[in-house]
Amino acid sequence: MANISGSKNIDSIDYTAIESMESFNKFVKKKNTFLFSITAVFLTLYILLPILAFQPVLQQKLFGNITGVWVYSAGLFIMTIVLCTVYVKKAASFDKAAAAVLAEYQAKGGK
């Protein structure tokens, strides 16, 4: 096992300084709000499937022999694809915001 305690990290970053930056805290709050919101929507709709599956509203036939449960289940697949697409597009803006925070940190004398 290598002894890494004696080696110095030349590109050390002061994470405490970054954490105290206003722009970093705004970035984290914005990102967490988005992530928790999208997760809450997904889990709520996903957990409702087994609850509603045996309720009369989803047991009704909508198209021939296809009941509401099948339509709701297909909707969950579509929702998953949509939420993943939204996240991928939003992640690009998060990457830009993170880069801006690092640029601000470096402009203030950070390494």
Note whether residue 3 is domain-resident. no
Note whether residue 83 is domain-resident. yes
Predicted local distance difference test score (pLDDT) of residue 95: 94
Q: Give me 90's structure tokens.
A: 């939003």
Note whether residue 60 is domain-resident. yes
- 33-42 long-range contacts, Cβ below 8 Å, gap at least 24? 34/90, 38/83, 38/86, 38/87, 41/83, 42/79, 42/80, 42/83
The number of distinct structural domains making up the chain is: 1
Note whether residue 84 is domain-resident. yes
Predicted local distance difference test score (pLDDT) of residue 11: 64
Residue 92, domain extent: 18-108
Note whether residue 6 is domain-resident. no
Predicted local distance difference test score (pLDDT) of residue 111: 63
Note whether residue 63 is domain-resident. yes
By C-alpha distance, which of 91, 89, 83, 110 is closest to 27?
91
Query: Which positions of the chain have pLDDT values less than 50?
Result: 1-3, 6-10
Q: Give me 81's structure tokens.
A: 């694809």
Note whether residue 95 is domain-resident. yes
In sequence order, the 6+-apart residues with CB closer than 8 A to the CB of 77 are none
